[in-house]
């Protein structure tokens, strides 16, 4: 890399510079990122909880932050994982293999922390980014669909069901309700560290048995997880939970991100409710 560039860990003391570099890097992105600085801090610092010492930036002599990688560290599917929560290269610094240079810097750090894999998601249409990650050694391992609600949900009344807000997820109860593991961002570990932003609601029978649950972020319009006991599926319980969430939340255009293509039942569920598949992503993994 040119001697006018150097790579170092990101410093939370330069958050404004990082935010401005983020805006510039994604100014021509196919999915608009119109975040205020407060929203940026909420998304990456408070919710994603990026590890600044395990993230890095490329700094240009006299030009400030040229590129960055945000890293969050957590267990994912039983493996200690470095999750790439965002890679950005400012337009005027592209074409210099800065992504590869940043991973050359980060991988030894990951090794010293006992991290076993690095994981990221990338838009299926972003060929340049995919090639850059493949050049580092990442491989595609899953295909994710992302949804957004675009029309009102038809109300469906379900008899004999009560909807109860609970303070935190009851994972042992919910385990049999899931057909597939969620993505990194919606995993149990990430939800547990983000509980202040999370709401949990259960659908229960009159005698108290849990028939389904939904985990969501009302302030951000995001559904993280939803599950219904297989014994009670097809009765409108899942639909009624989504209706309740929409009714009690400030946001009405809810999103659901990164559902594996293997989870066909969940795709059908959201499509039948009126959610539209607006973009797709590859999950890519680099084994360390």
Query: What superfamily in CATH does domain 5-137 come from?
Result: Gcn5-related N-acetyltransferase (GNAT) (3.40.630.30)
Residue 247 neighbours by CB distance under 10 Å: 10
Let me know how long the chain is: 288
Report the pLDDT value the prediction gives residue 63, as an integer from 0 to 100.
74
Sign of the CA dihedral with 151 first, then 152, 157, and 163 last: positive
- By CB atoms closer than 10 A (0-12, 13-18, 19+), residue 118 is buried
Q: Supply the pTM of this predicted model.
A: 0.94
- CATH number for the region 148-281 comes to 3.40.630.30
- By CB atoms closer than 10 A (0-12, 13-18, 19+), residue 74 is buried
Instruction: Give 10-residue mean pLDDT values along the chain (288 residues).
Output: 87 96 90 86 93 97 92 98 97 94 98 98 96 97 96 81 96 94 97 94 94 94 96 94 87 90 96 94 98
Helix (H, G, I), strand (E, B) or coil at 16: helix
Report the pLDDT value the prediction gives residue 1, as an integer from 0 to 100.
64
Report the pLDDT value the prediction gives residue 96, as an integer from 0 to 100.
92
Report the pLDDT value the prediction gives residue 62, as an integer from 0 to 100.
80
Residue intervals of the chain classified under CATH 3.40.630.30 are 5-137, 148-281
- Decide if 275 contacts 145 (C-beta within 8 A): no
């Amino acid at each position: 890399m040119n001697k006018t560039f150097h790579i170092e860990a990101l410093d939370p003391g330069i958050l404004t510079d990082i935010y401005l570099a983020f805006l510039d890097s994604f100014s021509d992105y196919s999915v608009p990122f119109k975040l205020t600085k407060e929203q940026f801090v909420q998304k990456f610092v408070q919710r994603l909880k990026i590890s600044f010492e395990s993230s890095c930036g490329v700094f240009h002599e006299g030009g400030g932050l040229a590129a960055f990688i945000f890293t969050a560290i957590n267990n994912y599917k039983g493996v200690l994982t470095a999750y790439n929560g965002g890679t950005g290269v400012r337009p005027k610094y592209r074409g210099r293999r800065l992504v590869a240079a940043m991973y050359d810097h980060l991988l030894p750090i990951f090794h010293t922390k006992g991290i076993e894999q690095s994981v990221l998601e990338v838009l299926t249409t972003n060929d340049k980014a995919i090639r850059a990650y493949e050049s580092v050694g990442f491989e595609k391992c899953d295909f994710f669909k992302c949804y957004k609600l675009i029309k009102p949900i038809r109300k469906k009344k379900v008899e004999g069901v009560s909807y109860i807000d609970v303070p935190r997820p009851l994972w042992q109860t919910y385990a049999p309700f899931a057909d597939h593991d969620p993505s990194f961002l919606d995993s149990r570990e990430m939800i547990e560290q983000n509980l202040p932003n999370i709401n949990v609601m259960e659908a229960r029978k009159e005698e108290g048995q849990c028939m389904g649950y939904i985990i969501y972020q009302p302030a951000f319009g995001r559904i993280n997880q939803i599950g219904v006991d297989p014994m009670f599926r097809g009765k409108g319980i899942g639909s009624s939970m989504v209706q309740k969430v929409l009714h009690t939340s400030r946001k009405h255009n809810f999103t659901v991100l990164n559902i594996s293509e293997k989870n066909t039942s969940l795709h059908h569920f959201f499509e039948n409710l009126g959610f539209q598949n607006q973009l797709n992503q590859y999950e890519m993994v680099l084994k360390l």
